[in-house]
Amino acid sequence: MPKIAPLNTVDSLETQLVARLCNTLASYLDEEHVAQCVRAYEFGAAAHTGQFRKSGEPYICHPIAVAISLAEMRMDADGITAAILHDVIEDTGVSKQELATQFNKEVAELVDGVTKLSKIDNKSHAEAQGENVRKMFLAMAKDLRVIIVKLADRLHNMETLGVMLPPKKRRIARETLDIYAPIANRLGMNTMRHKLEGLSFEAMYPFRYAVLSSNIKKARGNRSKMIDTIENTIRARLQEAPFPCDVAGREKNIYSIYKKMVKKKIPLADVFDVYAFRIYCDDVDACYRVLGMMHNLYKPIPGRFKDYIALPKENGYQSLHSVLIGPYGVPIEVQIRTHEMHRMSESGIAAHWLYKADADKTRNFQALANEWLKDLLEIQKSAGDSLEFIDNLKVDLFPQEVFVFTPNGSIIKLPRGSTIVDFAYAVHTDLGNACVSARIDKQLIPLQTQLESGVTVEIITAEHARPNPLWLNYVITARARSAIRNRLKHIEGEEALGLGRRLLENELAAMNIQLTQIGEEKIASLLKIMGIKTFNRLLEDIGLGNKMPFLVAKQLTQDDVHTHVKLDDGAKSQNRPLMIKGTEGMVVTMAKCCRPIPGDTIIGFFNPGKGIVVHQHDCHNHALIKKKQNNWLDVEWEQDAKGDFATEIRIEILNQRGSLATIASTISALDSNIENVTVVDQDARVSVDSIILTARNRVHLAQIIRRLKELSIVLKITRVKG
């Protein structure tokens, strides 16, 4: 909230800002639209009466400054109006409906999109910020001007951070670097990004900024002669071209310099050892011809050429980049682009308003931004909470692309480090959910393989395949991560529902009652008491171990469901044991302490939120389980229990070359997979290894152990049961 300032505040700054805004607006808007913006100023000034910023200036000066930034981008009248009014909903008594009445619905929606969420109870700052950003992206999907206004708002806040306390300065600066500067970059607004980064760097590290800024100025003076020499040489060569083009030295952004120093652990002198120039041409053909001239003038460094004209960046940025060896062996970085590409690279999505005469050329930026927002909307729908959404967003905001091909020749852009699974989800969510393997250039490769530019990827799918939770350990794109989590939640819900129904039916059967015999009124009454919306939700809770099936069955069969059954009354199910099939999925898991397999005597333990964990009856945790009478149940294997179950053996073998390979091939020959091998102890003669392998049942495991005992290198073998 703005703070109340002293009464002697002078409004000269406000007057100057309003005059500057009106002059800028008059240069491109008609009188009617300028009048609308002036009316918005009068309305906003009245609403913010008595409110002052911490610097002491009238609060209305802030929205006017934001509006000036947008006016310089040639924003339309509704966008300027929204900028002037962007804080009235949050900081005054004005409602969204009142704005719609006073101006129009479009302005009201824009202001609401920029407004922070209010009254976020019991949430940390990080969660509140996550909710705000989430809401902002939803508004962006309706109107891209929301983010333009928000970026201009953040820029002015960063420019006026001086009066803030250092901890708050650093927090706002970190937030700007993490979210807003990358968004500006993602939308191609490089000028805005550089300003936000520089101001954030200065606020976070004022001493580093001052020292670096001072040294850059000194270095620039020392380098001026070399820069002039190289620029004159390049200019002289370009004059030989039969088409017009120009060259200019490129200023390095101070935050970019700092990042490079930190990342590469090099001093400023080494960063400034590279001389950077931009060459501007009239058309694309001239860009490639100039590239040839530069490579003929100075030798290019192999592997340092990038063609962002043929393959633009995700944000639409286009240019040719090449690093050359200049005079005295100094590196020269050259960027070659058309004048149009340069304007677009500086303004990005804002070029839609800034260069309306070239609307056709800005359409590509609009399409790219809308495509990105569409992906973000898909991500936010399946994100569990605002913090998960922010994590996904940050992943998506820092891309370094690789380009790979589908079998039909389509190009897919992915962040560097993306895997096969990321590629599958980038093509289509259903393809990612069903993928089991892949081929790169016709060679089978693991799903965790990281992709390189230029390869052709073919995804192999299976009808009943499902995402593996382990994929979350190596996927890097927000889209893949969000889709995997969403699908796993869905699968877990389905499996919990099925298990919960089986558990409840089991308990009711012991009471000689069928679930279908329970009246809907009794079920509805129980759901109301428990505060659960649907019967399926109750079944899911039972399957996940959040509700005990015996107690639910008791309440459903009582004449009065309002009679409370205590969880600690020592009551326990007396029904037949639950039969374990081995195909229940994520809601029935095998305990890693004893690794039971079909044929073992087992016991089930309810782990709230995760379902049933199955232990061997003689597991060392059994005593602990038994103490929690209401959390365990009798379970047995079904006769035809299916699956490959992990179990552990400890084996002592002669420590000689090829021993482990012999063990592995023997296990593989018996249709078993090794999941992990750990060397427990070893000396010159004997190696004691722990092997986790898969077995269908006790009979299968006995076959494996018997075959291993026949090997001359095996001294002893036992099964580990905890």
Q: Please enumerate in sequence order all residues whose Cβ is within 8 A of that of 224, keeping only pairs 6 or more positions apart, or say none.
A: none
Half-sphere exposure of residue 202: CA atoms within 13 angstroms, side-chain side: 16
**700-705 contact pairs (CB < 8 A, 24+):** 700/670, 700/671, 700/672, 701/597, 701/647, 703/670, 704/667, 704/670, 704/672, 705/649
- How far is 573 from 201, CA to CA, in rounded Å? 64
- Complete edge-to-edge strand list for the sheet that includes strand 686-695: 674-682, 686-695, 645-654, 714-720
Question: Pairing relation of β-strands 588-590 and 611-616?
Answer: parallel
Catalytic residue, chosen from 11, 30, 76, 90, is: 90
Instruction: Count other Cβ atoms within 10 Å, centred on residue 153.
Output: 21
On whether the CB atoms of residues 63 and 43 are closer than 8 A, the answer is no
- How far is 158 from 173, CA to CA, in rounded Å? 8
Cα of 101 vs its chain's centroid, Å: 39
Question: Pairing relation of β-strands 602-607 and 578-580?
Answer: unpaired
On whether the CB atoms of residues 649 and 718 are closer than 8 A, the answer is yes
- How far is 483 from 468, CA to CA, in rounded Å? 12
On whether the CB atoms of residues 504 and 555 are closer than 8 A, the answer is no
Catalytic residue, chosen from 91, 231, 378, 634, is: 91
Any catalytic annotation for residue 441?
no
Any catalytic annotation for residue 91?
yes
What is residue 66's DSSP assignment?
H
Q: What's the Cα-to-Cα distance from 552 to each of 287, 606, 636, rounded to whole Å?
A: 74, 15, 22
- How far is 610 from 589, CA to CA, in rounded Å? 9
Q: Which residues is 404 bridged to in the sheet? A: 412
- How far is 154 from 398, CA to CA, in rounded Å? 20
**Catalytic positions:** 90-91
